[in-house]
Amino acid sequence: MQPVTTDQQARNLLIRPGTHQDLERLLRIEQDSYSAPWTRKMFEAELGGNPFGHLFTARLIHDGGGQEEPGEIVGYICFWVVFEELRLMNLAVAPSVRRQGIATQLVRYALAFGRDRGAVRADLEVRASNAAARRLYERLGFRQIAVRAKYYANPTEDAVLMERDLLRAEG
Ligand SMILES: CC(C)(COP(=O)(O)OP(=O)(O)OC[C@H]1O[C@@H](n2cnc3c(N)ncnc32)[C@H](O)[C@@H]1OP(=O)(O)O)[C@@H](O)C(=O)NCCC(=O)NCCS
């Protein structure tokens, strides 16, 4: 698949498929982002063995003396497209570059990718206390549809299940 550059809120962002070479950087961002981070094995499963799974990385493109050069990975998104459903599995952005629209671009990219492959709705689970992510998803058109009590461990917490229609233009 070809790399994609986006030029919306987060300018100069290069989004492309993750590879095994990216693992160390993905694990670093993951550990900086979650109280119960994904393990190396979990990333490896998404990068290799899962026919429904997709993982895309984002890099900021820097102007290196007139030439545009992609920097290191600053975020990633992992999702499954299973027939008509897109399920968001993981999303993280390095702490130093948050609030620059990178997650917004990654989610929009995933939604367009799923839509192109026939997905008609997207869903996800998020920790009830994760106000930043819940706000991000709401702004992208997701709505709360259920709460799963004590779904998460480390710490134990409810999951909020959110969903959005992919046939609407919103987000
Ligand atoms: C949640 C996360 C992915 C957001 O990444 P990001 O690149 O900073 O997000 P964006 O810049 O695209 O934010 C878009 C909007 O989401 C909301 N938002 C994002 N972070 C927020 C925060 N810390 N507090 C409040 N709202 C926030 C805002 O509405 C923001 O728009 P604004 O900056 O114009 O106000 C990032 O904070 C992260 O990696 N967190 C740890 C991992 C995680 O929680 N992942 C999601 C699991 S479901």
Burial level of 171, CB count in 10 A (0-12/13-18/19+)?
Answer: middle
Asked if pLDDT for residue 105 goes beyond 50, the answer is: yes
pLDDT tens for 65-100 read 778 889 999 999 999 999 999 999 999 999 999 999
125: annotated active-site residue? yes
Look at residue 157 and tell me if it is in a domain. Answer: no
Q: What is the DSSP letter of 22?
A: G
CA of 134 to the centre of ligand 1 (A): 8
As a whole number of angstroms, the distance between CA 127 and CA 161 comes to 9
| pLDDT mean over 41-69 | 90
Among 77, 98, 111, say which to mutate for ligand 1: greatest number of ligand atoms within 8 Å of CB: 98
Look at residue 156 and tell me if it is in a domain. Answer: no
As a whole number of angstroms, the distance between CA 81 and CA 50 comes to 11
Look at residue 91 and tell me if it is in a domain. Answer: yes
Look at residue 67 and tell me if it is in a domain. Answer: yes
152: annotated active-site residue? no
Among 27, 33, 99, 111, say which to mutate for ligand 1: greatest number of ligand atoms within 8 Å of CB: 99
Look at residue 160 and tell me if it is in a domain. Answer: no
Question: Which of 47, 60, 164, 64 is CA-nearest to residue 106?
Answer: 60
What's the predicted TM-score (pTM) here?
Answer: 0.94
pLDDT at 3: 54
pLDDT at 9: 41
Q: What is the CATH number of the domain that holds 113?
A: 3.40.630.30
Look at residue 150 and tell me if it is in a domain. Answer: no
With contact defined as beta carbons under 8 Å apart, do 120 and 166 qualify? yes
Domain extent at residue 50: 4-120
Angle subtended at Cα 100 by Cα 95 and Cα 104, rounded to the nearest 5 degrees? 100
Look at residue 125 and tell me if it is in a domain. Answer: no
CA of 66 to the centre of ligand 1 (A): 31
Query: Which ligand 1 atom sits closest to the C-alpha of 33?
Result: 41
As a whole number of angstroms, the distance between CA 75 and CA 92 comes to 5
User: Which residue's CA is the closest to the ligand 1 atom numbered 33?
Assistant: 99
Look at residue 10 and tell me if it is in a domain. Answer: yes
Asked if pLDDT for residue 17 goes beyond 60, the answer is: yes
Domain count, the chain: 1
User: Which residue's CA is the closest to the ligand 1 atom numbered 4?
Assistant: 103
How many Cβ atoms sit within 10 Å of the Cβ of residue 29? Answer: 20
* Ligand 1 cavity residues, CB under 6 Å: 33-34, 91-93, 98-104, 126, 130-133, 135-136, 139
